[in-house]
Amino acid sequence: MSKTILELRNLNKSYGIVKAVDGISFSLERGEFLSLLGPSGSGKTTTLHMIAGLTSVSDGEILLGGKSINALPPYKRDIGVVFQNYALFPHLTVSQNIAFPLEMRGISGKEATSRVNQALQLVDLPSFGSRYPRELSGGQQQRVALARAFVFEPKLLLMDEPLGALDKKLREYMQVEIKRLHQRLGATIIYVTHDQDEALVMSDRIAVFNAGKIEQIAPPSEVYNRPKTRFVAEFVGETNIISAKFERAEGSFQIFRSEALEIRIQGAEPIYKNEVKLSIRPERIRIEPILSQSASNKISGIVSEVIYFGRTIRYLVDSIDGSLKLTIVKQVSSLTEKTFSKGDRVDAFWHEFDVMPIVEGP
């Protein structure tokens, strides 16, 4: 049996002259959790809706289990969908809401009752079957929506910003709950979000959308630590972008220069351009009192701003020659750890493997 459950082949969606989705292609394996991450209008929700059958395809093909589903109506696709607004029927009880997709598929009687009870147990709401949606909290309504999506055991489960209406604490709790259900059931999930942290925490892979295209699709650690484009580097977390010129190669290192700063990169593919963009994550930069010796990957500067976040401190450092501004995030592990104040002279430095060349776009 093939591990691939879903495949998109050059999928396009146009509204007049506007391309909402532009040549999207990827495959999804059974049991995989894939997040579609991107800003509003980037094409991620349109892609999800085409997979669900809620939006027609302009061009390209969607294969589910190796068979094209382009022409199938939503109710024949064997796909579960969870929306941000839950879409629960207010006049039906929790049990009746969960049973609805079973009735649509001709499943009733004892089997339907058994499945509904199992679904309620699964989302930790075993005694809530007789309640109505208005009698539930937002988190409970979301769990009912999840139970309704899981109850008919779909081949694929689609989630469209399902936690967007919840407060931060409940949102984080539900992230764990959804991940628990995914692992317990071995469900195959596509999850749309604009929240970078949510995608990093929950996903097996992340597809980063921008202007209707996928700029990178990879595991979370690769998307974060090895972004392919400037957009990915800046959208998924924070980054410092430095413009530099390639100078030479030395063994496994590449040497770049930005003004008076020499930057060494380890293990990158050869880049022979006059100018490239280099990405360094704020937490990868160390900060110490200013040192006398010169070295690669080191900027001497002055702290221009200090922002305290509790577990972390964010420093803004301006290079002494005024050519660069860096954002540095330092983890605070103890009350006795060295901290810096506005106006302090410091050295900021990083390892050769913590800086990445990137491109401007796809």
State the first-to-last Cα distance of the chain, in angstroms, to the nearest integer.
Answer: 34
Mean pLDDT calculated for residue range 64-86 = 89
Of 235, 238, 240, 279, whose CA–CA distance to 39 is shortest? 235
**203: confidence class by pLDDT, cuts 50, 70, 90:** very high
**333: confidence class by pLDDT, cuts 50, 70, 90:** low
The pLDDT assigned to 269 comes to: 67
Of 255, 261, 269, 229, whose CA–CA distance to 242 is shortest? 261
The pLDDT assigned to 275 comes to: 82
Q: Do 156 and 2 contact (CB within 8 A), yes or no? A: no
Mean pLDDT calculated for residue range 20-42 = 96
Mean pLDDT calculated for residue range 101-110 = 89
The pLDDT assigned to 187 comes to: 87
DSSP 23: E
pTM as predicted: 0.88
251 pLDDT higher than 80: yes
The pLDDT assigned to 13 comes to: 97
294 pLDDT higher than 70: no
Mean pLDDT calculated for residue range 26-45 = 96
361 pLDDT higher than 60: no
**223: confidence class by pLDDT, cuts 50, 70, 90:** very high
Q: Do 207 and 37 contact (CB within 8 A), yes or no? A: yes
Residue with tokens 């990827």: 26
pLDDT tens-place string over residues 145-186: 888 988 888 889 999 988 877 788 878 888 888 888 888 888
196 pLDDT higher than 60: yes
State which amino acid sits at residue 70: N
